[in-house]
Amino acid sequence: SRSFDRVQAQEKWQAFWEEDETFRPRDDGSRERRYVLDMFPYPSGDLHMGHAEAYAMGDVLSRFWRLQGYDVMHPIGWDSFGLPAENAAIKANTHPATWTYNNIETQARSLRRYGLSLDWSRRLHTSDEEYYRWTQWLFLKFRERGLAYRKNSFVNWCPSDQTVLANEQVVGGFCERCGAEVTKRKLNQWYFKITDYAEQLLDDMSQLEGGWPDHVLAMQRNWIGRSEGAHVKFTVDGRDEPITVFTTRPDTLFGATYMAVAPDAALASELVSDDQRPAFEAYADKVKKQTEIQRQSTDHPKTGVFLGVYATNPVNGKQVPIWAADYVLADYGTGAIMAVPAHDQRDLDFARTYDLPVVTVLDVDGTDPAETGIATVGDGAYLNSGLLNGLTDKASGVSRIIQELEADGAGTGTIQYRLRDWLLSRQRFWGCPIPIIHCGKCGDVPVPEEQLPVRLPDMRGAALSPKGTSPLASATDWVNVACPACGGRATRDTDTMDTFVDSSWYFFRYCSPHYTEGPFDPQAVADWMPVAQYVGGVEHAILHLLYMRFFTKVLRDMGLVSFDEPMQRLLNQGQVINAGKAMSKSLGNGVDLGKVIDEFGVDAVRLTMVFAGPPEDDIDWAEVSPASSLKFLQRAYRIAADVTSGVDADLRNGDQTLRRQTHKAIAEITTLVESGRFNVAIARTMEMVNATRKAIDGSAGGADPAVREAAAFVAQSLSLVAPYVAEEMWETLGLPPSIANSTWPTADPALMVEDSATMVVQIQGKIRGKIEVPADIDEDTALELALADPGVKRSLDGREVVKVIARLPKMLSLVPGK
Ligand code: ANZ
Ligand code: ZN
């Protein structure tokens, strides 16, 4: 027949793939393995257009590599802990698991219908006990290595979600999730010591260059924020311990005229004199209400209060006043700075507000900051700077002063990172419980491994409402336990882990999803990883992609994995937008994936997504046409339906022009897909459909074996994006199912050569030679061949050729000199 039932085809092939276990890797080493990984979904309702795009992209490579003969693993699972489940449970008076697992089933059904080449046997959910047991185990291992610790400090607090947030979850001073303005709270919380890995996280990025988008690497580099500089010690009158500051310009030390400490750092309240304490405390309260962004912004007026104490500048013995100032942040460097008003604009603004001295120690451009109010920065000739006078560049100045400070024991060269430790405690219910028991006598005691998992108690509805403390605290039966160390009365930690902990190791678990001896079988990970291609949204450029790199490095140091980086290539697909805007409820411009699929079918929707443009670009749904995708797919199908030659037709008798087109397309599409230019590969496939149609309707006809060859390749190429149509075409061609088990063809170079042509060589308008040449001959080669021709040689009779007129491959005209 010349058409087929779309919906029936979808159901038929889903059932076939499942029964056949088509997409389950052999995993026996008989073929080279490749791991294609899509970022796993969060089960917030049904799949949406964004999922559809991302998963369509990942499936192109997964299917392509499978056809090329790799043993491909392409797993799926759910990132199923998280706040929305809890909010839904409060509303519906149910357990968060109800909402979560219902949504997972909905999404699983949609993913199946979407025709992805997924291995469902590796399915996992991070909220399953068999999974979170190992999240807890990993937490305890990190703790044993000193990489998970608890500290009391000011943390980001979201007043609306009633939970703390990691720095990475605060965007411009607002909660990344709900948009509420973030405030500060002092809490005793668990942290992962990701800062221990700052340097490696930076250095190992060299292994990702070329495989990861440059802008993602740049964002990570920025986030880690490496600064070279020095720690300098200032002694304080009447205090044993000096104050250490971090500075990137120790060479400006002679211009340091005051010091400033963060008002919210413990140091400030330790230093403040009795006289100044009331003023300081009032000030500190005011600062607490500001956001970090306000505090750091350059146009925010800088404020401060004198602490009533003085320190000594180590290089010139001068007394400098110590202030508390809002522009100094408690959690960067040491929380204290030496202020050099002449060469740091923030310091200069502050000095002018509070009438503090400005001492210029660098002549950068002849101007004096004390007069202009504009700090001068960069290289310059040192002034009033003792041993530095005479030097004229920053590098020499910095190394000379560090040498001096180190000799005097007054400082050391150091490297500072902007990256903070990862705060992982959350005051929420629907997450992985922290496997720690607090005992009055023994302190923090880990839950013994054989007692893992620490299961969540059964809590639902209103019991989960945010109260500013973890809902788990009210489950008293669960909270009160015997201390595993001394048997005395103790309590469980009532916080749960940030869900980014769950997603930092799921890709390892996929390698051996049912392993019971550990989080994963190290051999399985060695077999499959690193991941050949990771696909997901750029919104994870920092958070998830940094955390999972950190986890990998720790697991490597534990001896469980042998590589530094888990993902070799990363593809960030664009967003699906509508009429130029992000799809959103408030704009009312959302597009329902299910409805679009009902109308046009899975294949047409997937084809539209992939054909819309380069994978990294946004897709404006208002500007694409699933209807024309569908029309095209029908055209493609009819080609297969029009093939009348048998399966073993002899290709040598096939139409040579069409065969050449087919093999050129094979070569090009192979390169295009491998290099991620999926949309161009589809454009080439469309050209092939046209060429084949022309051959069928022209002299070749449907019985020509070359038409069969072309139709089969069109089907294979289409199978990367439109698997249902492709399977139907394959079946129509009389080939055994599934097309997913077929072999990607290799282009025959002999077939790609153009036909030959007869080139006429003229000299002064007379024909002197006729030569058989390749049809795509270039001028240099043509001239070379012509000059070697006996007739041409004779006619030239030793004269030089001064001009060549070429109309290749048919004609070459030579003009000889005198
Ligand atoms: C003296 C100085 C003189 C500085 C000068 C700069 C220019 P980056 O590059 O971001 O690492 N600083 C140090 N700790 C701080 C804190 N907790 N809060 C606010 N500012 C802090 O910035 C390092 C510079 O930022 C340091 O070098 C320090 O000012 C300031 F001509 O020290 B500098
Ligand atoms: Zn105890």
How many C-beta neighbours within 10 Å does residue 152 have?
A: 9
Residue to mutate, 332, 340, 359, 382, ligand 1, most ligand atoms under 8 Å from C-beta: 332
Task: For residue 173, count CB atoms less than 10 angstroms from its CB and return exposed for 0-12, middle for 13-18, buried for 19 or more.
Answer: middle
CB 550 within 8 A of CB 558: no
Atom 12 (ligand 1) nearest CA = 337
> CB under 6 Å to ligand 1: residues?
227, 246-249, 252, 327-329, 332-333, 335, 337-338, 340, 343-344, 416
DSSP category for residue 210: T
Calculate how far, in angstroms, residue 190's C-alpha sits from the geometric centre of ligand 1: 28
CB 535 within 8 A of CB 573: yes
Rounded to an integer, what distance in angstroms lies between the CA atom of residue 670 and that of residue 689? 17
Calculate how far, in angstroms, residue 422's C-alpha sits from the geometric centre of ligand 2: 27
Q: Which ligand has the shortest distance to the CA of 441?
A: 2
Q: Which ligand has the shortest distance to the CA of 253?
A: 1
3-state SS assignment for residue 204: helix
CB 85 within 8 A of CB 126: no
Calculate how far, in angstroms, residue 446's C-alpha sits from the geometric centre of ligand 2: 11
pLDDT tens column, 584-611? 878 888 999 999 999 999 999 999 999 9
3-state SS assignment for residue 390: coil
Rounded to an integer, what distance in angstroms lies between the CA atom of residue 747 and that of residue 441? 74
What DSSP assignment string belongs to 688-734? HHHHHHHHHHSSS-TT-HHHHHHHHHHHHHHHTT-HHHHHHHHHHTT
pTM to 2 decimal places:
0.86
What DSSP assignment string belongs to 247-276? ES-GGGGGG--EEEE-TTSHHHHHH--TTT
Atom 20 (ligand 1) nearest CA = 328
Regions of the chain where pLDDT drops below 70: 1, 291-294, 296-298, 754
Atom 18 (ligand 1) nearest CA = 328
Task: For residue 497, count CB atoms less than 10 angstroms from its CB and return exposed for 0-12, middle for 13-18, buried for 19 or more.
Answer: buried
Calculate how far, in angstroms, residue 437's C-alpha sits from the geometric centre of ligand 2: 9
Report CA torsion sign: 250, 253, 257, 258.
Answer: positive
CB 324 within 8 A of CB 273: no
pLDDT at 137: 98
Residue type, 691: A
Single out the residue of 431, 440, 426, 454 nearest to residue 491, CA to CA: 440
Alpha helices in 430-581 (DSSP H): 476-479, 499-502, 506-509, 522-528, 543-557
Residue 415: phi and psi, rounded to 5, are -120, 135
Beta pairing partners, 327 = none
**Whether the bond into 530 is cis, omega within 30 of 0:** yes
pLDDT at 167: 75
Q: Which ligand has the shortest distance to the CA of 401?
A: 1
Provide the total of helices (H) and of strands (E) in the chain, helices listed first: 28, 34
What DSSP assignment string belongs to 770-799? EEEEETT--HHHHHHHHHH-HHHHHHHTTP
pLDDT at 168: 72
Calculate how far, in angstroms, residue 617's C-alpha sits from the geometric centre of ligand 2: 57
HSE (side-chain half, CA atoms, 13 Å) at 239: 18
Helix (H) or strand (E) holding 416: strand 411-417
Calculate how far, in angstroms, residue 289's C-alpha sits from the geometric centre of ligand 1: 23
CB 437 within 8 A of CB 495: no
Residue to mutate, 245, 261, 290, 344, ligand 1, most ligand atoms under 8 Å from C-beta: 344
Rounded to an integer, what distance in angstroms lies between the CA atom of residue 538 and that of residue 545? 10
State the pairing for strand pair 148-158/183-192. antiparallel
Atom 7 (ligand 1) nearest CA = 344
Residue to mutate, 154, 228, 233, 248, ligand 1, most ligand atoms under 8 Å from C-beta: 248
Residues 103-132 as b/e (b if ≥16 CB within 10 A, e otherwise) read bbeebbebbbbbbbbbbbebbbbbbeeebb
Q: Which ligand has the shortest distance to the CA of 331?
A: 1
Atom of ligand 1 nearest to the CA of 416: 11
Helix (H) or strand (E) holding 152: strand 148-158
Q: Which ligand has the shortest distance to the CA of 439?
A: 2
Rounded to an integer, what distance in angstroms lies between the CA atom of residue 326 and that of residue 117? 55
pLDDT at 121: 96
Rounded to an integer, what distance in angstroms lies between the CA atom of residue 632 and that of residue 604? 9
Atom of ligand 1 nearest to the CA of 343: 31
Atom 22 (ligand 1) nearest CA = 248
DSSP category for residue 364: S
pLDDT at 685: 98
Report the Cα 613 to chain-centroid distance in Å. Answer: 20
Rounded to an integer, what distance in angstroms lies between the CA atom of residue 102 and that of residue 99? 5
pLDDT at 772: 83
Helix (H) or strand (E) holding 758: strand 756-763
Q: What are the tokens at 542?
A: 């920092």
Q: Which ligand has the shortest distance to the CA of 485?
A: 2
Atom of ligand 1 nearest to the CA of 331: 17
Q: What are the tokens at 516?
A: 């019971």
Residue to mutate, 337, 382, 419, ligand 1, most ligand atoms under 8 Å from C-beta: 337
State the pairing for strand pair 766-774/619-620. unpaired
Radius of gyration of the chain (CA): 35
Single out the residue of 561, 553, 676, 674 nearest to residue 613, CA to CA: 676
Atom 29 (ligand 1) nearest CA = 247
Residue showing tokens 């139709």: 711
Calculate how far, in angstroms, residue 333's C-alpha sits from the geometric centre of ligand 1: 8
> Does 289 appear as a known binding residue?
no
Q: What are the tokens at 186?
A: 């002092």
Rounded to an integer, what distance in angstroms lies between the CA atom of residue 758 and that of residue 293? 75
What 3 state SS string does 70-83 have?
CEEECEEEECCCCH
Q: What are the tokens at 244?
A: 């250490």
Atom of ligand 1 nearest to the CA of 340: 3
Calculate how far, in angstroms, residue 337's C-alpha sits from the geometric centre of ligand 1: 7
Calculate how far, in angstroms, residue 273's C-alpha sits from the geometric centre of ligand 1: 25
Report CA torsion sign: 174, 175, 179, 180.
Answer: negative
Atom 8 (ligand 1) nearest CA = 227
Calculate how far, in angstroms, residue 445's C-alpha sits from the geometric centre of ligand 2: 7
CA distances (Å), 566 to each of 75, 134, 151, 505, 572, in order? 16, 19, 30, 10, 16
pLDDT at 292: 65
What is the helix, strand, coil percentage profile of the chain, to 5? Answer: 40, 20, 35
CB 310 within 8 A of CB 322: yes
Q: What are the tokens at 684?
A: 């080439």
Residue to mutate, 227, 233, 247, 398, ligand 1, most ligand atoms under 8 Å from C-beta: 247
Residue type, 628: S
Calculate how far, in angstroms, residue 451's C-alpha sits from the geometric centre of ligand 2: 16
CA distances (Å), 222 to each of 111, 284, 457, in order? 36, 30, 41
Atom 10 (ligand 1) nearest CA = 227
Q: What are the tokens at 150?
A: 């608890």
Atom 33 (ligand 1) nearest CA = 247
Rounded to an integer, what distance in angstroms lies between the CA atom of residue 469 and that of residue 461? 16
What DSSP assignment string belongs to 306-348? EEEEEEE-TTT--EEEEEEETTS-TTSTTSEEEE-GGG-HHHH
pLDDT tens column, 21-39? 999 999 999 999 999 999 9
Single out the residue of 358, 360, 413 nearest to residue 385, CA to CA: 360
